[in-house]
Amino acid sequence: MPIVKSEILEQSKQASGYRVKFKYTFADGRTFNVGTLNANSIEQIDQLLIDKKAPLELSVKSNDAQEAKELGITAEYKEASQADVYYIYMYEGFNESEPLLAYELMEPVAQDILDLGLSVEQMAGMFNQTIEMVNDVMAKWAYLDSNKDIITGYKTVKGGM
């Protein structure tokens, strides 16, 4: 687990229960405060402390993967795994309607993903996506890659204008 410490930062008694704020510390030293939350009892405070961990970890991994892409990093980065980073590149490329931009987003990682030799089912598991979504993403990459000469030629022509 990347979160190495979780604690109650603030807790105050209100007429309707408690107001609390939590602090989570990751293994790399980054800290995140979560709250202000309402709890009906002390037991609910403890449960909230546990319940907020997983969404925070997911958010931090996603942000780290996005930062990796922005820095041009295609490997694992901070809390983001290799698969998290691959996912960001492929997801953004899939959702890009401009073929040149889509190709440039997917190209740094697509062949690495294919070189893993995974089935579509395994890729779906790796990316926590449906088989249909992975099929659609990989179909778009296949289309872009098969037309890369035209797509990159457009970039050359566009750059000369």
Average pLDDT across the chain, whole number: 93
Write down the pLDDT at residue 78.
93
Query: What pLDDT does 32 receive?
Result: 95
Sketch the domain layout of the chain as residue ranges: 3-51, 61-160
Radius of gyration of the chain (CA): 21
Mean pLDDT, residues 124-142 taken together: 96
The answer to whether 4 touches 25, Cβ cutoff 8 Å, is: yes
Burial readout 71-91 (b: 16 or more C-beta within 10 A, e: otherwise) = eebbebbbbbebbbbbbbbbb
pLDDT at 73 exceeding the cut of 90: yes
Averaged pLDDT, 9-37 = 92
pLDDT > 90? residue 30: yes
Instruction: Check whether the bond before 36 is cis (ω within 30° of 0).
Output: yes
CA angle 3, 91, 134 (to 5 degrees): 100
Q: Is the pLDDT of residue 84 over 70?
A: yes
113 pLDDT higher than 60: yes
Q: What is the pLDDT of residue 155?
A: 77
- Give the largest Cα separation in the chain, rounded: 69
- pLDDT at 160 exceeding the cut of 70: no
pLDDT of residue 148: 93
pLDDT at 156: 77
For range 19-30, the mean pLDDT: 94
